[in-house]
Amino acid sequence: MAAYDHPDPATFELTVVLRALADPARLEIVRHLARVGEANCATLIGTRPKSSMSHHFQVLRDSGILRTRIEGAQHRNSLRREELDTRFPGLLTAVLNAP
């Protein structure tokens, strides 16, 4: 499978990032990745079907919040913390620290 396209930090859009974070399922994914560093999709699926998860990962990827690295049959996801913090200083930290 071909590698994913990840947007350049200079093109990150605030409204797009905020909208990506404004969903409970995606917020959960982001919080989980912040804890474990890297995870494949399967370990992040709770009760939701794969197709729903795939959708959420795409939204997060397209907004610039996470990157997906392909290793064999697995897709390893991790937060793009540095890039995000360069473009929107303090934003991700504030979201992760929020109750």
Binding residues with a second copy: total (CB under 8 A): 20
Residues 43-82 that bind DNA (CB under 7 A): 48-59, 68, 72-76
Q: Which two tokens stand for residue 36?
A: 């474990």
Q: How many C-beta atoms lie closer than 10 Å to residue 88's C-beta?
A: 17
Q: Based on the number of CB atoms within 10 Å of its own CB, is 71 exposed (0-12), middle (13-18) or buried (19 or more)?
A: exposed
Q: How many residues bind DNA (CB under 7 A)?
A: 26
Rounded least distance, CB 17 to DNA, Å: 12
Closest distance to DNA from the beta carbon of 2 (Å): 8
Asked whether 63 and 70 are in contact (CB, 8 A), the reply is: no
The contact set with DNA (CB under 7 A) reads 1, 19, 23, 25-26, 40-42, 48-59, 68, 72-76
